[in-house]
Structure 1
């Protein structure tokens, strides 16, 4: 096994463990990754039409309708009339949705502090640079080689 293959194996293992931990945290709130991502998009971008959510999430409008329906039924978001387009509605976070995003952001910050506590600042800067290099070398979705792990 080459060093590059070993590095990829370690990265995939770590990514899987981090994903499992995040999904457990979301599940405790009754959310999945798609729901949490939609809440974050609204938090960062403010109220938007479903077409905008579809583009931001890279999913079909029909999929966004299902996500918004579920989140609205559970009190995370609400639909409001669009200010200028009678045919459209704006999706916005509710107080419950805002509070959930605030908690998720705080937990994310605390998790980062804990995860990287033993990593010296200079090494963390190098790690970020390496991640940027790796990210730029991954081909667009569908174009990367398959990984048989």
Structure 2
């Protein structure tokens, strides 16, 4: 039945989320990182040195939360705060050498993991998988988190 196939698909996605989350959490812990701190590092990698207010916006967290994340990353040697070149009131969060090496190693690990998961999959099947996941992600992004219903603009 179609309903059973949908439940089976959801069960598989949920199992995949749990397995990947467990693997990621263990891997990050080896480097002394958390998922939240790593998200901040990825944003720095994507955008370069940034003021904390811009990091807060990119991470969709409060300024207070980003301060705590940066404090933790600075204390463990992943980032530093530098004076902003044009705004005396702002500081830029930037990578230390350790932080940059760590993010580069994570990028390498991500490529290896992608190869492990998808190298043996035919291109057409991988294209179907990514298209289907894209549809699911777009649908989820359109849900109002408070009600888990489509937001007003999506109706």
Shorter-normalised TM-score: what interval?
over 0.9
Match for residue 27 of structure 1 among 26, 29, 41: 29
* SS of residue paired to 1:68: helix
Q: Deviations over 1:2-34 (max 9, x none)?
A: 211111011101111011101111000000001
Bigger CA drift: 133-142 or 15-24? Answer: 133-142
Structure 2 match to 1:10 = 12
User: Residue 140 of structure 1: CA displacement?
Assistant: 4.4
How far apart in 1 are the matches of 2:19 and 2:146? 24
User: Residue 118 of structure 1: CA displacement?
Assistant: 2.5
Matched, 1:92 2:123: no
Bigger CA drift: 115-124 or 30-39? Answer: 115-124
| TM-score with structure 2 setting the length | 0.90
Matched, 1:127 2:95: no
Structure 1 match to 2:111 = 109
Structure 1 match to 2:145 = 141
How far apart in 2 are the matches of 1:121 and 1:47? 37
User: Residue 137 of structure 1: CA displacement?
Assistant: 1.1
| Structure 2 unaligned regions, length at least 5 | 150-155
Structure 2 match to 1:72 = 74
* SS of residue paired to 1:54: helix
* SS of residue paired to 2:119: coil
Structure 2 match to 1:61 = 63
Structure 1 match to 2:46 = 44
Higher relative contact order (CA 8 A, sep 6+): 1
How far apart in 1 are the matches of 2:37 and 2:99? 11
* SS of residue paired to 1:142: coil
| TM-score with structure 1 setting the length | 0.93
User: Residue 143 of structure 1: CA displacement?
Assistant: 4.0
* SS of residue paired to 2:92: strand
| Structure 1 unaligned regions, length at least 5 | none
